[in-house]
Structure 1
Amino acid sequence: MSDYASQIETIDRDLHELEATDGRFAIWRMVFFVGLVLGVGFAITTQHVIWASIAGGSLLAFLVTVVRNETVRDRMELLRNQSRTLHRLQARLDRDWQSLARDGVGVRSQEIQLTDEQQALAGDLDLVGEASLFQLTSMAATTPGVRTLANWLCSPVDPPIAIDRHASVKHLADQPDNRLRFYVLARDIGGSSGDPESFVKWSKEPNWLPPHRWLIPWGNFTALLAVAITIAMVVGQMTDHADWLRLGLYALIGIAVINLAIGSFFLGPVAAIFQIAMASRRSVNDYAELFDAARWLPETTDNANGPTSRIRSALLADEGSSGSASQGMRELAKVARMGGLKQTASTFLLYLPLQAFWLWDVRVLRRLEEWKSRYSDQIPTWFDALGELEALMSIAALQHDAEGWISPEWLDDQSTLTFEGLGHPLLKDHVRVTNDVTIGPEGTLLLVTGSNMSGKSTMLRSAGLNVALAMAGGPVCCRRMSLPPIEMGTSIRVSDDLSQGVSYYMAELNRLSAVVAHARELSKRRDGGDTKRIQFFLLDEILQGTNSRERQIAVARVLRFLVEAGAVGAITTHDLELADDEELMRMAHTVHFRETVTPDASGDERMTFDYKMREGVSPTTNALRLLEIVGLGEQ
């Protein structure tokens, strides 16, 4: 935290100095512009060479000032992006969810695309959305990066993939300066119209120019005509034919008006294409640098099919060939330099006559579409790889900042999940309470009892969030954690759907049915040798929408189905009758959380929780005492 604060302080100081410099440049720009206007005005009215010299000198000084001022403003924008990025890193450490939510470029949760099953899991475990694992982890600013990271957090993977991801994450975590540069560049692109999703979509669309090819010969014709008219005007000036000069000037103005009108009213789609493919010359160079960041990954891994090898292959392999991302972006940068003439004040005076007499935008578009024709097949692969790289970069920030978090251990030959010092990763360090939790082996489950607010649901989410982190390739909030290949199934937050006529109880039954079907499907796949994964289920206070006796029978039946399918998991309840069920006791290891009630100085009861897990069934309940505490006890 102090390191980030120190960097922000340095950037703020540099920004203050640059803002002062920018203000001085603004004054000099105005002075030179006024000098230019006055010089031209007096040169026309007095015909004195001195005024023409003043006008020329002012124009030159103005252009030099503009170029230098643009350099200062580019530096200011870079520093502002660095500051925003460091503030986000700082907010993640402090679990400042409001600041993270305000950082629209860094979050972009509206871009996340999940299946119904992933959305259910994400809602149960706070994987995406406000104050979520995604919000804690994400430094992604582009659409592919956002979607890839969210998908990784909500999807199961086999251990070799998770191990490969984690090896890359640890390697990138040790490169804070490189990562900061990557985050800033990605933020610059993610906030522009040249976001990768738009770029990929454009690469798949038909070229705009073929149906409008007449624009090229028309531009050639007007350019040649303008040259001929200019020569005629020079000859007229030399031979004292004043009419040639006047008529030629009118003709040039006419050509310019026609071509500029074509550019304004007919080439609107071309401008939109430029905004996507070449949002600025800097954005193309940013893409090239982001692709080159794949060099920061480990050069060799144990998994040839893992994300590390896939990213390096897509972005770096065969560099110099026609399919190389680096080569492709270098070629696009050349086109962007042509298209960028109108984007800066220093080159706009060159762009204007080129567009007015030669339809410069059409020339640039032709080069751009030729480039797209060469690389359109590779472009989606490039940005898929960039999304994976950005996801790894995001998780690497968590690996670097999460002091005391460890690497998970994957075990193929057992069915037990072991958490030593299990903590909730979304809580601040000073309020987090940790517990040692063991879930499994196959044929058993963990039954968590306890009174209201004692920490049962938090423990379930702690386990699920850390499993999601492990599968995404991240560090875990434990002293030690080992797990087998698993897929998660949950029923924690269930709501009714009146629009579909689904009651709360039926909605919960549907969720439980999906969890059981998932466990059975995995069991069949294991029997067929297609997978080693088992289901890891997390069920919180299920089937509360029915009477106690039927609930006891129904819960025991659901758990029996899950255990018979080889699933392992945990279920919470504050219903002590459920904990007494004989069938449930045969398969369950029972633990509990409890509260402590003590009188305060005024003699009123005060209820506290230590959130520590203990062996056995909960010996206490607190529902009636909570009623009294909130003023709803008997008078």
Structure 2
Amino acid sequence: MTPLETFQSRKIHFQSLVEHFQKQYNQWAVFRAFLFAITALVGYFCYEMYDFAYTLLVLIIGIALFLFSVTKHLKVKYLRDKNKVLIALNEDEIQRLSNHFNRTETGEAFVEDKHFYANDLDIFGNQSLYKLLNRTHTFGGAKMLADWILHPAQTNEILNRQKAIRELSAKIDWRQDLEASAMLIEEVAEPTDKLLAWNNAPANQTIKKSLFQIARYLPYLTIPVVIAWILGFVPAYIVLVLFMAHGMILKQIFEEVSIALEQTNRIAGAMKAYAAVSELIVAENFQEEKLNDLKSKISEASPAIKALEDILNKLANRSNPFFAFVVGVPTLWDIQYFIKLENWKQAHRDNLPIWLAVIAEFEVLNSFSGYHFANPTFINPTIVTGGVTLKAKALGHPMIKASKRVANDIELIGEGKTIIITGSNMSGKSTFQRTVAINVVLALSGGIVCAESFECSCLQVFTSMRSNDSLEEGTSSFYAELKRLKQLIDEVATTDNSKASILYFLDEILKGTNSKDRHEGARALMLQLHKTSASGFISTHDVELGDEFDEQDFVKNYSFSSEVANDDLVFDYKLREGVCHSFNASQLMKRIGIEM
């Protein structure tokens, strides 16, 4: 069964389940209304015809049955809603196969200033690698996914990711269940920085004072006194004095509780999703060491996170004025639950960041696994150690539809080497460079690549392909390109044995100046880079540059070209060895009406 057929089949299956649970939901709604009416009628009948004890018994039974029906009703609602989410997930997967993305997240919030390749390779944006991969829903997962594709991993980590992704790829039921569990809670996308700031802050010293530690037991006196007042055994002023004492005690801790809630309240709703996801992780059996290692770190997370959710939700009840007066003041609610919150932090503060990171990593692994499952013809790259190695056969761009994708072979081995790509306008030079670079990024993230075979070493991709002028900075596009090339030169100069070699991609190098300066500048840059450990690709219209270095062993010339057939330009986008000496600018200008 193809991925498309799988997703379509699952969508139909979940649609049938939604219809099933919707019927149950409606039935329970009717039953609840019927039960309420019957309880009221029978209770009234017993009240009129028999002792009050019978009425009370009916009410107790009726309320118990009603609460049971509410629980069942909510469970059916949850199952209905979860299957609705699963329908949406599979529809999203169907759309992804055609590079149509339903989700709005672009990842642009995680862009790093002056990043080595993010802007040129469309790592983020509406049609981007991030959108192609992203199946995360927590804030931590979204941020970690961006980090994986922005920064290459080390060899051992890449290999471990490959194994984990391969195993998870086959677990489509579990993967989609994991994703759906997160999607059901909207707050799961909230940033966790304030929660972690609260978690990492020193223990609150105010609540540790003996006044509050003793006062927490005061409601055991106050509540019986209130009951005695209601029954007429004690005067009202005693209750009033006790309430005033409670109010004075609560006032002293009011600000600390408010600050703690401000840091945790927005993320409180997400705790349910974190608990559900961690529960799914712990319950699943894995084979790969990386997955089991992550699982071991989260074994106790679910009950602890549920406890935190319960504390936060109950503490947040203080914002209801009626609750605060009727329950909050008599029970010293703020103190009771603020002490529980501080005790929770003391018990789990070291574990909470680990739990959130593990959940995030499983989401990222799930993103790559979903991409792996959806593209069965793509392969796991071979990662080699040392130097500069890049070998690929039938290499294609993963964002181009298979029906339109043109694959090419390429090989670049050794430090200080340059591949010059010449060719006519629109022939595919820039797309080819992006094809090579984006597959290297995927390979070094742990993902699959769009190729028949692919081998590369751990490299640091660096691109200079889009140089935009800036009115704000007062720079032209040419000067912006010079600044980018300066960044490359500085980075290469600081590269040592502890860093990966630079793999650069320079598109239409120095295009903003005259042909003589362009040629001399490109020539000087190539000779300078040749003396370093960096290797890479340069595309240019400067055929003299290719001719000049054609006999040099550290340079290899490749080209793209076009043909004229029946007065139309035809591009085959096939990479050929050698320098291209045929260009099409005049034909293109004629086609738009410029008389040549």
Fold shared, TM-score > 0.5 on shorter chain:
yes
Question: 2: distance between equivalents of 1:47 and 1:413?
Answer: 91
Question: 2: distance between equivalents of 1:623 and 1:426?
Answer: 28
**1:79 paired residue number:** 83
**2:227 paired residue number:** 230
For the pair 1:411 / 2:384, whether they are aligned, the reply is yes
Q: 1:129 aligns with which of 113, 125, 128?
A: 125
Per the alignment, do residues 499 and 314 of structure 1 end up closer, same or farther by CA in structure 2, a change over 3 Å counting? same
**1:69 paired residue number:** 73
**1:292 paired residue number:** 282
CA drift of 1:188 comes to 4.2
For 2:223, the aligned partner's letter is A
Question: 2: distance between equivalents of 1:353 and 1:44?
Answer: 30
CA drift of 1:96 comes to 0.9
Q: 1:607 aligns with which of 569, 572, 591?
A: 569
**1:579 paired residue number:** 546
CA drift of 1:557 comes to 0.8
Q: 1:179 aligns with which of 157, 172, 175?
A: 175
The correspondence of residues 485-496 of structure 1 with structure 2, limited to 5 A, is: 485-496=458-469
**1:425 paired residue number:** 398
**1:26 paired residue number:** 29
Deviates more, 1:379-388 or 1:151-160: 379-388
Deviations 1:408-442 (A, max 9, x none): 12233663411100100111222111011122433
For the pair 1:13 / 2:8, whether they are aligned, the reply is no
Contact 2:311-2:341 at 8 Å conserved across structures: no
Question: 2: distance between equivalents of 1:416 and 1:403?
Answer: 25
- SS of alignment partner, residue 457 of structure 1: helix
**1:279 paired residue number:** 269
For the pair 1:401 / 2:401, whether they are aligned, the reply is no
**2:320 paired residue number:** none
**1:3 paired residue number:** 6
CA drift of 1:565 comes to 0.9
Which segments of 5 or more consecutive residues in structure 1 lack a partner in the other structure? Answer: 237-242, 300-307, 317-323, 345-349, 600-604
Per the alignment, do residues 272 and 442 of structure 1 end up closer, same or farther by CA in structure 2, a change over 3 Å counting? closer
CA drift of 1:157 comes to 3.2
Question: 1: distance between equivalents of 2:203 and 2:454?
Answer: 53
Deviates more, 1:425-434 or 1:127-136: 127-136
Contact 2:278-2:359 at 8 Å conserved across structures: no
CA drift of 1:219 comes to 5.6
- SS of alignment partner, residue 82 of structure 1: helix
Per the alignment, do residues 203 and 295 of structure 1 end up closer, same or farther by CA in structure 2, a change over 3 Å counting? farther
CA drift of 1:212 comes to 9.1
TM-score using structure 2 length: 0.85
Deviations 1:205-255 (A, max 9, x none): 35568359766755643443222443565xx5xxxxxx559x88x969x96
Contact 1:492-1:540 at 8 Å conserved across structures: yes
For the pair 1:221 / 2:218, whether they are aligned, the reply is yes
Question: 1: distance between equivalents of 2:345 and 2:68?
Answer: 35
TM-score using structure 1 length: 0.80
**1:616 paired residue number:** 578
For the pair 1:500 / 2:497, whether they are aligned, the reply is no
Question: 2: distance between equivalents of 1:547 and 1:161?
Answer: 46
Per the alignment, do residues 379 and 458 of structure 1 end up closer, same or farther by CA in structure 2, a change over 3 Å counting? same
For the pair 1:390 / 2:363, whether they are aligned, the reply is yes
For 1:397, the aligned partner's letter is G
Contact 1:140-1:183 at 8 Å conserved across structures: yes
Per the alignment, do residues 60 and 93 of structure 1 end up closer, same or farther by CA in structure 2, a change over 3 Å counting? same
The correspondence of residues 77-476 of structure 1 with structure 2, limited to 5 A, is: 77-97=81-101, 99-100=102-103, 102=104, 104=105, 109-112=107-110, 114=112, 116-118=113-115, 120-188=116-184, 191-192=187-188, 196-206=192-202, 210-211=206-207, 220-230=217-227, 272=262, 275=265, 278-279=268-269, 282-283=272-273, 285-289=275-279, 292=282, 296=286, 298-299=288-289, 308=290, 313=293, 316=296, 325-334=298-307, 336=309, 357-360=330-333, 362-412=335-385, 415-476=388-449
**2:563 paired residue number:** 596
Question: Number of residues paired by the alignment?
Answer: 584
Per the alignment, do residues 583 and 451 of structure 1 end up closer, same or farther by CA in structure 2, a change over 3 Å counting? closer
Deviations 1:98-149 (A, max 9, x none): x24x3x4xx6x254253x343x411111222221112111212222222222
Contact 1:335-1:368 at 8 Å conserved across structures: yes
Deviates more, 1:435-444 or 1:366-375: 435-444
- SS of alignment partner, residue 474 of structure 1: coil
**1:561 paired residue number:** 528
